[in-house]
Structure 1
């Protein structure tokens, strides 16, 4: 009788644990399904930790790096109506490293850790540059599968690291966020259900072009870059990003990554950080990889990253190493980190300006939206006047 009670108690306990685990899994899946709902999107974008698996990044023990304030900028007339239409939640403008404008909207505050979406890709580009600088990744011409053999026989069989950096892997991947059956949304469900992103990447087998032939925006490419970095160093991305980049920026608030079920960082879009700390990163890029007297990544890497090198089509935005360049920009003069729903870090080398914008723009895919964002950022940069150096 006693043994039967023990068995029964064990069974009930196991079922209970299973229900708790399934409950958490179901909660994350429901969060994905309601993440972009009009009445919840602003709050959700500031509270991703509550719905998804996540891990803190280590900001180190150093002092917070200063963001001095300068004469407030009179924002150009185009900004307010554009920001209203695009549902902008925060804006911060740095001129010569000093804040000249900072504003928060729709109930957000400067303490909100806002989701980066694909701006996170540009952070991984910097980490990758550090690993190249240190020799952990000896050549960008190395085939991905030479470092990540689990990808052998799949879509990345012939791709080099440089191809993946330029979003030119040639793999077939549906990036339509509004198609529930698309690859990007299947990937989101992998994250929500606590499964492994590495397995998802290894399961991709179809290609549409030879590696390097044409740039096609493919978010899973960035995850594969993360797999390469982990394989080359034997270390985790959260630890690497913390040590090599984040802890050296003197951030105000501890940021975090969304992760999959194995604790692997969602490097293609899962970074969460304050607007002020996004601005610190942008200023470091403006300063060609230096921040408050220390070199974080080589100037050579930054220059190579922010100039167009991928084979994009005519009339399209240009692309570097996980950075966007406006189609009509002069190489080396402007660059952007971009994320869905209106997340931007815009950098004007010519004007010595960084503009950070976060949004909850449900119309982000409408015609002309990205172009209007560039025009607005350029108008802000122009309104700051002539650059006085960096």
Structure 2
């Protein structure tokens, strides 16, 4: 592992069909990596005994809501944090049901890596295709395919090899580059944290080893400098009466004091005076750091403006082509108006055209549709009321993503990736 990757935060999501063992796998990771407290373990043991199990049900470590535990399924996205000496992790445990595709999009939108679970007894199913397509659509850089429940097929190598072959064949149609495969038993712990004695034919790494050592420093765009302004800081005190700072998260590139920058949409240029992080001046800042910049010249800048390099600017436009995952029960139709949020900018937009929907299983286009239902994925054209400063999603996940909001209810109804 490189020095850059050491102790970096890895965000990963788990996805699979219903009852593929996602919660058990996460519970196993937490338990075997010694990332849970004794009182938590005692509560899980008591719950397992109450259910009549003759084993400790580790899935209860992640199914936090009582109603979910009683049903024996995970409904919403559950976020969990754990750490090992090598790295810190945030897990998004997403439900496997078809009707909760939107939850997977939510959990996967910020992930560096996706774990796709496949039941060794069932092989690839519709949800495997759906979740893999979403991982590809969201440009998740790394995928680990865990063939789970190997203990229920007697740790048979032929079954594992066939699933790997089938998945590679399907994934060849997707934009998924870094794929690893691991045969596991989340229930018994085979190849999760510790190497399995039951599968001597598998010579690869354990799941935790892959998670600890996957190289993520290059996942961020460090070429195209993008700094959307979230807040203008002007303290009303005598000591700092001349201070004017611009706070936000760097969404791309590397910024240093002395760099020449351009402000959008005004087009004015100036230089960075200094960059502050946690009250201290730093020599450089890069994505995804949240910092405060000060500039050498006083320029009228407000929330939603973007600080970029003069010779490397994003696209500017009001007509946006995007792939959208619809998250609301009320369908999207053409000519409907929504509020869109893009980086720190918020404006109104109207759906100009629904071009087609995607059949998740075949990846074929379904044309001639006039509405998009919940959990559908489609290509649309939006017209925004104000110019948007954007990059394609494939180039920059931060400046290439949009959230659509219902004007009346203020609900998030869709997530879009600019093409």
TM-score (norm 1): 0.23
Higher strand share: 2
More helix by share: 1
- The answer to which structure, 1 or 2, has the higher relative contact order (CA under 8 A, 6+ apart) is 1
Structure whose CA Rg is larger: 2
Q: With structure 2 as the length reference, what TM-score do the two structures score?
A: 0.22
